[in-house]
Amino acid sequence: MIIVYSIEDLKKELSLIKESIGFVPTMGYLHNGHISLIEKSVKENKKTVCSIFVNPTQFGENEDLEKYPKDIENDINMLKKANCDIVFIPKTSDIYKENKVFVDILGFSDCLCGKKRPGHFKGVLTIVCKLFNIVRPDRAYFGEKDYQQYIIIKKMVKDLNFDIDIRIGDIIREFDGLAMSSRNSYLNEEERKKAVFLYDLLCYAKKNAYMGQKRIELENKIEKYIIEKIDCNIITKDYANIRDGIDLELKEFISENSRLFLAFFVGKIRLIDNGRLL
């Protein structure tokens, strides 16, 4: 496995590759969710590139940029075991030289995390666009846990005419169902136990969903479940929202594309999850 730190060195390495390239962009502090994407890329491409870069432009003023967990040594060891070919670890000063050009999207980012985290997806799209132009992959891999991000990136790729196939990997969960996330490391013991509420809520919603059901009817049941089951001393709802999994729109009736999107604060840590209802 080759580790490169500059754009120039990465481009030199990539110029030697004539086969298909798979790309997995990450912010590091890797877990098995990230590794599942690496493994998927390794199976589907001749070469796999992983970037590790904590992107400052997708963090808001009161978010955890400075505290975001890092463990580069462990990341590298995990990537070696997963047979990643190239790891790209750039400096912020190399990626953002003047901060004058950004990429944004209309419509898809004004709901869910886009509404709750203003400017977040502008930062995400900008860094992904930059990395795509540097790596020039044939396929790029994103996790289902960040489903809104996946949909928005697919839209960017289509509208900006990138010749890249955007692939999605399944949510990888802990033994009790909690979606794996780098932010789980922030949780104390009690918060970690309570965090499984997100998964329990997803399971409840799936059990109570059926084709043609009115969305508002199911959302009312979900809200009642939250009120009855939530530990308000530890968990606070940010949103629990049913939307279409193709265009993120609110639809009147539940269909095969309907998904429940969740965001809750567990202590001070914001966790997200989502899943198909049918």
Catalytic residue, from 23, 24, 33, 34: name it.
34
Which residues make Cβ contacts (< 8 Å) with residue 128, sequence separation at least 6?
25, 153, 156
Which residues make Cβ contacts (< 8 Å) with residue 54, sequence separation at least 6?
27, 28, 65, 68, 70
Strand order through the sheet with 21-26: 2-4, 86-88, 47-52, 21-26, 139-143, 165-169
User: What is the Rg, in whole angstroms, of the alpha carbon atoms belonging to the chain?
Assistant: 19
Q: Give the separation between CA 22 and CA 44, rounded to whole angstroms.
A: 8
- 31 catalytic, yes or no? no
Q: Give the separation between CA 41 and CA 13, rounded to whole angstroms.
A: 18
Q: Give the separation between CA 99 and CA 56, rounded to whole angstroms.
A: 11
Q: Kindly list the catalytic residues.
A: 34
